Structures are given as C-alpha cells and as structure tokens.
Amino acid sequence: MKETTQTRESYHHGNLPETLIHEAAKLLTEKGAEGFSMREVARRAGVAVAAPAHHFGNAKGLLTAIATYGFQKLTTEQQKAMEMSRDPVENVIGLCRIYVDMGSRYPGYAAVMFRWDLLDDGDFAYSNAASSAFNLLSDAIAEAVPEKTDAKSIQRAAKTLWAAMHGFVVLSLADGDEAVERINFAVRTLLAGMSK
C-alpha cells in the first residue's frame, strides 16, 4: 500500500497548482503582466514563497500554465457553442462570441494567452490547448465557406477573425449589444467575401 503524505499546502488547498493558477490570474486582472510576481501569487494563495516555483519552475512556467488553462476553458466553451447550432455561419459567430465573452469575463487568462514573449512556447500542453481552440474556429469556417475554398484561405480567415476578436477584448469593445453587432458584422463580412 502506497503511503500518502499530506502537506499543509495540499491540506488547505486540495489542488494547490490550480489554486496558484487562479490566484495568479486574479493578480494579472488587477495589475497586468507588468505587476506579476511569484511572491505575490504565493502570498495571495496563503502558501510558502517557494510553492509556485515548486509546482511551475519559474514565472514563465506559471504564466504558461495560466495561458494553457485559458485555452482549455475556451475550447470547452467553444465545443458547447458548436452543439447549440447547426447553421455553419452561426457556428462561426458563436465561436467568436465565446472568445470575446471569455476574454471579458476572465481577463487574467486573456492577458497572457497570446503573450508569447512571456510563455514557454515549447510547452506541449500549451501548444496543444492553443491549437485545439484555433482548430475549432478554422474547422467551423471550412464548413461555412464554399467547398472549393483552399486550406490556406481558411487558415488566413481564421487568423483574421482570431485577431479581430482578441482586439475587441483588448480594446474593451467586448460588452453589450454593440459587441454582438461587431462580431456579426466581422464574421458575415469576411465569410461573404470568401464566398464570391
């Protein structure tokens, strides 16, 4: 029988790495990447200063874990949105709305999801999570455009919409009915252009 030991940190937090990720995301929401520190994350989580480094190695490791969690959450929400509609264009709009909505509701995660300068781009979990979210959008676009559309154009369209949605979040254009109109306009205009 394997003996299990329960540290004070795991006893109090249950899943300390997840707690650290959430506390770090809150810190990012309040102070941005410039105000981020492992010491402050540990203080907020109520654990030893060395705890974040023990689980994530360094700040880059923790920020990468935050971005990974953000992309995983985005993918889960996107998959739910895909189940809600059978109309290909509405699917693309739905995926874009999910992205914008998530960026508005979870700004701490959104703050680092595309900060490649701060992340470990060789991290498999991060690369896989980011690719999964992006591929859902690209696959949805492929369903919404004529069959003759080449893969390069589909990828270009996906990157264009991805960037536009990110811009809506960063520029605080993501709230209210006007945001919905912007998303609808961006998606329908781009898809109409691809259908000519």
Q: What is the pLDDT of residues 160-178, one digit of tens each?
A: 999 999 888 888 766 677 8
Q: Where in the chain is the domain with CATH 1.10.357.10?
A: 59-194
Report the distance separating Cα 70 and Cα 65, nearest Å: 9
pLDDT at 83 over 90: no
pLDDT at 148 over 90: yes
DSSP 35: G
Residue 104 near residue 174 (C-beta atoms within 8 A): yes
SS3 114: coil
pLDDT at 153 over 80: yes
- Give, for 15, the enclosing helix (H) or strand (E): none
Distances, alpha carbon 162 to alpha carbons 15, 68, 84, 93, 132, in Å = 32, 17, 21, 12, 13
Q: Considering just the CA atoms, what is the radius of gyration of the chain in Å?
A: 19
Identify the CA nearest to 41 among candidates 56, 128, 105, 3. Answer: 56
Mean model confidence pLDDT for the chain: 89
Which pLDDT does position 47 carry in this prediction?
94
Compute the average pLDDT of residues 152-163. 95
Compute the average pLDDT of residues 82-107. 90
pLDDT at 6 over 50: no
* pLDDT tens string 177-196: 788 899 999 999 999 999 87
Report the distance separating Cα 20 and Cα 58, nearest Å: 13
46-74: b (≥16 Cβ within 10 Å) or e = ebeeebbbebbeebebbbbbbbbbbbbbb
* C-beta atoms surrounding 25 within 10 Å: 24
Which pLDDT does position 13 carry in this prediction?
53
* pLDDT tens string 95-125: 999 999 988 889 999 999 989 899 998 999 9
Q: Which of 2-6, 21-25, 36-40, 60-64 has the lowest mean pLDDT?
A: 2-6
Identify the CA nearest to 61 among candidates 14, 133, 107, 121. Answer: 121
CATH 1.10.240.10 fits 1-57, yes or no: no
Which pLDDT does position 14 carry in this prediction?
66
151 versus 84: which is more confidently predicted? 151
pTM of the predicted structure, to 2 decimals:
0.85
Report the distance separating Cα 59 and Cα 107, nearest Å: 18
Q: Where in the chain is the domain with CATH 1.10.10.60?
A: 1-57
Which pLDDT does position 144 carry in this prediction?
95
**CATH code for the domain defined by 59-194:** 1.10.357.10
